[in-house]
Structure 1
Amino acid sequence: MGGNRIVVYKEPGVVAVEDHDAPKLEVPAEVAQAKGLTRKAEHGVILRTVSTNICGSDQHMVRGRTTAPPGQTLGHEITGEVVEKGSDVQFVDIGDICSVPFNIACGRCRNCREGQTGICENVNPGRAGSAYGYVDMGGWEGGQAEYVMVPFADFNLLKFPDRDQALEKILDLTMLSDIFPTGYHGAYTAGVTTGSTVYVAGAGPVGLAAAYSANLLGAAVVIVGDLNPDRLAQARSFGCETVDISADATLEDQIAQILGTNEVDCAVDAVGFEATGHGSGAGEAPAAVLNSIMSLTRAGGSLGIPGLYVTGDPGAPDEDAKEGTLKVRLGLGWAKSHSLYTGQCPVLKYNRGLMMSILHDKAHIADAVGATVLPLEDAPRGYQEFDRGAAKKYVLNPNGLIPAA
């Protein structure tokens, strides 16, 4: 292994692919010092990246809507081949192709033992929870790269049972690192079940994954809301109904046209803090989606909120929102006895079952989200097109291992 080509945030709107040193079996110095870990990570592996995806969460940083510093490496959606492993790795072998949950988890702390791997206590000195290539997440190097180090590999990695089958289905399997489990988590925590009527706010990749997951869970009707006509068309491609949030007609009226009632059983917020208000000419309104899903969801319903909310947003429209304080109608949610589920998806809770659905042809998530392959060097173009609203999920191919890409 020589060096490592990796995607780096430079300034708002600008990313570049740069040469870095090859990763080592080491945890970040700040994590080791704060958490009392050995710097040498004999529990880790080095992966040669097979596929790595551009995520809407990355786009928040690239837009300058977080406190990410210039030089922040990017990428937390990773699938790769093991090329090196530490002496403490017992159950993963050189040559295995594995999915990497975007959550970095130790497998040893209380939260990990209780299945809450999105809020591991031992991998980030600043707060519970960590991820690769993300601001305030412990300094772990990003995976939009040729190679990446994965710690606590026996716990974190999901090994695919057959190499040839994995490469054949890689565009579906690459979604297991984040958006498929995250979308499924949004639908599952919203209580989607057989016969449910569901509203999904946002037709980006996570919203499309949530809508697709709602269908897998047996929903009777899945309605997706967005203002991007191409993304709404993508939602309709696998059987969803759609509503245009930029239309003058209210969301309640548009939903009533579909269902005959202006309420749904449950709802998913797949937008997060860069939300747009409803109606023609509406601007940014950070709490718009949270308030709309409380308004639309029946009394006693549940709200899944996988959309990202942050504690530091320098580009927010008001001073409160810059620190994550939003004008949410909590009184309405309380009056309707809503249950709200927030936070990182604990990927390990779902990824094996979703893998089996893919391997046995029950799930075709790549088609649903518009998977589109680019070479690593074209990552800047992928970020630009995604930011302009392309109805695609960009999959980077750093080492030319994706068949027929």
Structure 2
Amino acid sequence: MPDNKGVAYVKPGQVEVHDIEYPTFEVKDGPGVNPANVGRKTPHGAILKCVATNICGSDQHMVRGRTTAPTGLILGHEITGEVVETGPDVEFIKEGDLCSVPFNIACGRCRNCKEGKTGLCLNVNPDRPGSAYGYVDMGGWVGGQAEYVLVPYADWNLLKFPDKDQAMEKILDLAMLADIFPTGYHGCVTAGVTPGSTVYIAGAGPVGLAAATSALLLGAAVVIVGDLNEERLAQARSFGCETVNVSQGDPKDQIEQILGTPEVDCGVDAVGFEARGHGADAQTEQPAAVLNSLMEIVRAGGALGVPGLYVTGDPGAHDDAARVGSLSIRLGLGWAKSHSFATGQCPVMRYHRHLMMAILHDRVSIAKNVNATVIPLSQAPEGYEEFDRGAARKYVLDPHGMLAKAG
């Protein structure tokens, strides 16, 4: 049995690469594992050799101490891997297949899965609908920032790339299918982006850049990205976006300078609950700032896509209400403008095959747009530190040196 290493959350601000157990077809006790899942058999699963596994902004929320993540939790929900073993109940996925792993774990059998709501599977997390690898309160499935990982319900969850050699040529782009590309795309779809739309995307981190890429792919006329970080805004401009630096004031004033009107057709929140204010308040945490700003910016009758993460518990919040996920949202404004809102985990399976085809047929260069940067698994702690300081990069871990060889 091979050795295995994984990136573990140690304490706020610190991750380490630890020796961990090689996966088996049974859920074992460990940090963050739901007791009701311990001993659960997974003959429907597959063990993957992780070819690419990314650091996500959602991981950073945990590493900053903004959740109840336990010490020792193995992180990582953005996984691309090669199948090395399948359980006895796996019929279609085979050893050697190179696959993308949706970050949502789904059974394919429950009501929600059958309705395409794979981010809300009823059978994988005993506490509530929805699950993910390596994430707090998501059932305790071991994360994939590791050398090897178990994927349950493999026939359902895995997206097999049709040609392995072709896939390795585009592996950095395909690595974005596990989460940020479908998540950004979902934000745009739910915000109503169509050909000719004007779009404002709050946040120029990897999800925001993926949303901007998605808006262009969907035919938007103008895509405007707002952020505080000038390096990240420059990355957005590198592939054709307009930008606003929200530290310079209310974004609607800068949007008016770009469009001639302070309103857009569609708004996407790619920031989430660690949002900051605008202008003079740009260094002050205001968790409802982005949502309230979008309701001002989006035209009456428009929509807001909210792929940014909001939580039910935030121990690092600045007030008691925000600690339980209660925010001062101007719902009256949204109601008066007949806005629609879409929130929650992106149902990755709804989009990932179409986006895979767009990548394979050179319709989009998502890795370039998010500045995908490969580092070895051993350098994960440095990657987390640089990302937390605002690096305009999407860090992709290379546990087996396969990305370096492909590049």
CA contact (8 A) 1:276 1:288 kept: yes
State the partner residue of 1:200. Answer: 201
**CA distance, structure 1, for counterparts of residue 365 and residue 74 of structure 2:** 30
Q: What is the deviation of 1:394?
A: 0.2
State the partner residue of 1:85. Answer: 86
CA contact (8 A) 2:28 2:39 kept: no
1:334 and 2:335 aligned? yes
Once the two structures are superposed, residues 240-276 of structure 1 have per-residue CA deviations (whole angstroms, 9 ceiling, x without a partner) of 000011003x211100000000000010000000000
**CA distance, structure 1, for counterparts of residue 41 and residue 121 of structure 2:** 19
1:319 and 2:320 aligned? yes
Q: What is the deviation of 1:39?
A: 2.4
TM-score (norm 1): 0.97
TM-score (norm 2): 0.97
Q: Gapped runs of 5+ residues in structure 1?
A: none
CA contact (8 A) 2:5 2:146 kept: yes
State the partner residue of 2:252. Answer: 252
SS in structure 2 opposite 1:246?
A: helix
Q: What is the deviation of 1:38?
A: 7.5
CA contact (8 A) 2:169 2:406 kept: no
1:304-383 maps to which residues of 2 (within 5 A)? Answer: 304-383=305-384
**CA distance, structure 1, for counterparts of residue 77 and residue 35 of structure 2:** 23
CA contact (8 A) 2:34 2:140 kept: no
**CA distance, structure 2, for counterparts of residue 61 and residue 288 of structure 1:** 21
CA contact (8 A) 2:10 2:16 kept: yes
Q: What is the deviation of 1:3?
A: 2.2
1:125-136 maps to which residues of 2 (within 5 A)? Answer: 125-136=126-137
Once the two structures are superposed, residues 163-213 of structure 1 have per-residue CA deviations (whole angstroms, 9 ceiling, x without a partner) of 111111000000000000000000010000010000000000000000110
State the partner residue of 2:24. Answer: 24
CA contact (8 A) 1:277 1:288 kept: yes
CA contact (8 A) 1:27 1:151 kept: no
State the partner residue of 1:182. Answer: 183
Q: CA RMSD in A?
A: 1.4
State the partner residue of 1:270. Answer: 270
**CA distance, structure 2, for counterparts of residue 138 and residue 108 of structure 1:** 17
Q: What is the deviation of 1:362?
A: 0.4
CA contact (8 A) 2:33 2:141 kept: no
Once the two structures are superposed, residues 141-166 of structure 1 have per-residue CA deviations (whole angstroms, 9 ceiling, x without a partner) of 00000000000000000000111111
Q: What is the deviation of 1:98?
A: 0.2
1:130-169 maps to which residues of 2 (within 5 A)? Answer: 130-169=131-170
**CA distance, structure 2, for counterparts of residue 236 and residue 149 of structure 1:** 39
Q: Residues 92 and 404 of structure 1: is their aligned pair in 2 closer, same or farther, counting only changes over 3 Å?
A: closer
Once the two structures are superposed, residues 2-41 of structure 1 have per-residue CA deviations (whole angstroms, 9 ceiling, x without a partner) of 2210000000000000001101112356989748x98221
- How many residue pairs get aligned? The number is 403
**CA distance, structure 1, for counterparts of residue 24 and residue 328 of structure 2:** 45
- Post-superposition, which runs of at least 4 consecutive aligned residues in structure 1 deviate over 3 A? 27-35
CA contact (8 A) 1:42 1:88 kept: yes
SS in structure 2 opposite 1:143?
A: coil
Q: What is the deviation of 1:280?
A: 2.9
1:47-66 maps to which residues of 2 (within 5 A)? Answer: 47-66=48-67
Identical pairs, percent: 71
SS in structure 2 opposite 1:320?
A: helix
**CA distance, structure 2, for counterparts of residue 216 and residue 358 of structure 1:** 11
State the partner residue of 1:261. Answer: 261
